[in-house]
Chains A and B, each alone.
Chain A
Amino acid sequence: MIKIYAIAINTFKEAVRNRVLYVLLFFSIMIMFGAWIASSLSIEENTRIVRNLGIGAINFISVLIAVFVGIGLVYNDLDKKTIYTIVSKPIHRWQFLLGKYLGLLLTIAVNVLVMTWIFCSVLHLRELVTGDALTRALYPTGSDGQVAYRGSGYHLFYFVASIAKALVFGFINIVSLGFDGMVVTQGLFAASVLTILEMAVITGFAVLFSSFSSPTLSAFMTVIVFVIGRLNQDLYLFATAMADRAGGVEFLSGGQVVSYYFAVGAAHVCPNLSIFDQRAAIASMQPVMVGPLEVAYGGVYTLLVLFVAIVVFNRRNFK
């Protein structure tokens, strides 16, 4: 166990020293502030836009990290032959692969939580520096009912204090595991846990593909699995609708049969990632729950993918 832990921690260290990670994090922050600006252009439902875009950014950046940072981490060990000195140590190959996977997952989990913290802070800041809150802060009503003005110097102080306050509130959202009762960030922690579960599956595929193919091909195949996974239910509906319209599978023409079986096959082989996607509930302030189904589905699927990766990895010669 100590060996898997050592490999996982080293993988995490390697990932956090990768500049690509920080570029992606910066990019996610830009999207979150962009969402704020975009929401101010909307007449109604601006909170819905901010929440939808923000959680979408976290999800999108997480996939990019899993694909571009994750694949490089396994492939580099094979390409630069670092694996020679590791596999010759008293460890099993599966321990190496599992350590790498856990290190990657830890990297992604930390990043998702950091992005969620930033996003929660953006939402708190938005509440503090726009609308009534700002008016009340800058133009307080005295006990005599008179509206006062606190002066231009107070503006700067208020903004800086609001940023600090928003960061603290965001941090509370994370450390309280979402059980904080704050309305503005309701469901975001649960959504981030679902994203981590989804990334557990995607990272498994990234590790599987990078254990036997080049980084470009691995990245391509991982993205394909992600896209099919997200469209899983739609693909299945498309296939059944096509068959229904023709009056049954046996009445489909040649090209349609190929499309039908491709869609049904892809939907069955690739994971159904839409169960982890709760953006609609998040945007409309509905409660988001991480249920046993999501945990079990993510866990079992990940174990299966890792099992295949280990079988492949155990049989290969390292160039």
Chain B
Amino acid sequence: MAPIIQIRGLTKVYVQDFVGVEHGRLKIRFKDRRRVALENLDLDVSEGEIFGLLGPNGAGKTTTLKILMGLHFATRGTATIMGKPLGDLAVKERIGFLPENPYFYDYLTGIEFLDYYGQLYGMDKAKRRKRIPELLDKVGLTHAGELPLRGYSKGMLQRAGLAQSLLNDPQIVFLDEPQSGLDPFGRKEVRDLILSLRDAGKTVFFSSHILQDAEVICDRVAILHKGERIALGPLSEMLSAKVKEYEVTFSNAGDALQNKAKQSARRYVVQRNEYLAVFDKEDAARGLASEILAGGATLNSFVARKETLEEYFIREIEGKRRQEREGGSTANSREEARK
């Protein structure tokens, strides 16, 4: 089946102005005005999947989304959505978009705001009247429909933004950092909403740096770093299936047991009256657990922990940074040798 989003060799180079303000100071640039925000990005997203575009700040996530949404023009490369080139109105009618930290006309009430955006989708009055209360209910804003947006909290604005991205019952939803600035409840609601969209057969393409949530909901992810894709694939393949470490937590232990745990564990942490011992080998962890039970102490938990997306992410990014440093120092030493 053809991918619903196809990106090939997408590159974006920004050329900075001659005169700019940097760190509060006026700066005039003649050289080094080019900044590569995205380099040769290739991606395929299949219909019905939740695809996460992950990466640290400045990785190129938002740039990718802006190009897909027709807000920026790519320097090189192509992208298609539903087999059509970017900017095709028929495609725009079938997609929804929520930008990062959205700002809307704050003098409009929630209902007026959705009504306005409904008109931009070309929806007739009867359809808008039916759809708006449904959406307000879906994002939990029914009580605030008559209030102007200027009175909304950040979380409410994010929900209003989500509602506008779903007005046309889109086939693909693009979300840029949908959970940024939300409290744990808000994050959970957004997570559940994304999952419900997938259940309804929609494709969700979202960028995020909240990796715990991405790990829970994404079918596949791509990791970007300084505009380059450094990893791509299903999470199940990307994260090592084998157990990374064993964690034993216990309490009510005597000094002897504590000393033993301290000596045998790779990492040992005391927190109030609870002790955590981390082992690389299963046997060692089991041995301590048996001794805890035999010695009358309380075994609180025994966990075989796999690598998390966050650990994978940090490992990949740090590996890349190390490579760059080494590459840089090799280049420097080559330069010195030439001198």
Taken residue by residue from 90 to 113, chain B's Cβ proximity to chain A (1 for < 8 Å, 0 otherwise) reads as 101101011101111101100000
CB distance from B188 to the nearest CB of A (A): 24
* From B93, B97, B116, contact of A6 by CB (8 A): B116
Is A150 an interface position by the 8 A CB rule?
A: no
Chain A residues within 8 Å of chain B by Cβ, number: 25
Structural contact, A85 and B97, CB atoms closer than 8 A? yes
On chain A, the residues within 8 Å of B93 by CB distance are 90
Q: CA of A48 to CA of B117 in the docked complex: distance in angstroms? A: 50
Residue of A nearest to B115 (CB): A6
Taken residue by residue from 74 to 91, chain A's Cβ proximity to chain B (1 for < 8 Å, 0 otherwise) reads as 000000111111111111
Q: CA of A89 to CA of B174 in the docked complex: distance in angstroms? A: 12
Decide yes or no: A318 and B71 within 8 Å by CB, A82-B104, A85-B117, A85-B161 being known contacts: yes
A residues 69-122 touching B (CB-CB < 8 Å): 80-92
Is B312 an interface position by the 8 A CB rule?
A: no
Structural contact, B120 and A317, CB atoms closer than 8 A? no
Is B66 an interface position by the 8 A CB rule?
A: yes
* From A10, A87, A92, contact of B105 by CB (8 A): A10
Chain B residues within 8 Å of chain A by Cβ, number: 31
Structural contact, B72 and A2, CB atoms closer than 8 A? no
Is B196 an interface position by the 8 A CB rule?
A: no
* From B72, B92, B108, B116, contact of A90 by CB (8 A): B92
Structural contact, B69 and A317, CB atoms closer than 8 A? no
Is A245 an interface position by the 8 A CB rule?
A: no
With most chain A CB atoms within 10 A of its CB, the pick from B71, B104, B121, B174 is: B71
Decide yes or no: A2 and B161 within 8 Å by CB, A82-B104, A85-B104, A92-B89 being known contacts: no
Structural contact, A89 and B121, CB atoms closer than 8 A? yes
Q: CA of A14 to CA of B148 in the docked complex: distance in angstroms? A: 13
* From A81, A90, A315, contact of B121 by CB (8 A): A90
B residues 116-130 touching A (CB-CB < 8 Å): 116-117, 119-122
On chain A, the residues within 8 Å of B71 by CB distance are 83-84, 87-88, 317-318
Count A/B pairs, Cβ under 8 Å. 76
Residue of B nearest to A7 (CB): B120
Decide yes or no: A14 and B92 within 8 Å by CB, A3-B120, A6-B119 being known contacts: no
CB distance from A121 to the nearest CB of B (A): 30
* From A2, A13, A17, A318, contact of B66 by CB (8 A): A318
Structural contact, A2 and B119, CB atoms closer than 8 A? yes
Is B164 an interface position by the 8 A CB rule?
A: yes
Decide yes or no: A6 and B73 within 8 Å by CB, A14-B107, A90-B92 being known contacts: no
CB distance from A251 to the nearest CB of B (A): 40
Decide yes or no: A3 and B164 within 8 Å by CB, A14-B105, A85-B97, A88-B97 being known contacts: no
Residue of B nearest to A77 (CB): B105
On chain B, the residues within 8 Å of A315 by CB distance are 73
Is B287 an interface position by the 8 A CB rule?
A: no
CB distance from B75 to the nearest CB of A (A): 10
CB distance from A46 to the nearest CB of B (A): 43
CB distance from A213 to the nearest CB of B (A): 12
Structural contact, B102 and A84, CB atoms closer than 8 A? yes
Q: CA of A81 to CA of B72 in the docked complex: distance in angstroms? A: 13
On chain A, the residues within 8 Å of B164 by CB distance are 85
Q: CA of A5 to CA of B98 in the docked complex: distance in angstroms? A: 24
* From B69, B107, B117, contact of A87 by CB (8 A): B69
Is B70 an interface position by the 8 A CB rule?
A: yes
Structural contact, B73 and A317, CB atoms closer than 8 A? yes
On chain A, the residues within 8 Å of B66 by CB distance are 84, 317-318
List 19 additional A-B contacts (Cβ < 8 Å) besides A3-B119, A90-B93.
Answer: A2-B122, A3-B120, A6-B116, A6-B120, A13-B108, A14-B107, A80-B103, A81-B99, A81-B102, A83-B71, A84-B102, A85-B97, A85-B98, A85-B164, A88-B95, A89-B92, A90-B120, A90-B122, A317-B71
* Chain B interfacial positions (CB closer than 8 Å to A): 66, 69-73, 89-90, 92-93, 95, 97-99, 101-105, 107-108, 116-117, 119-122, 161, 164-165, 174
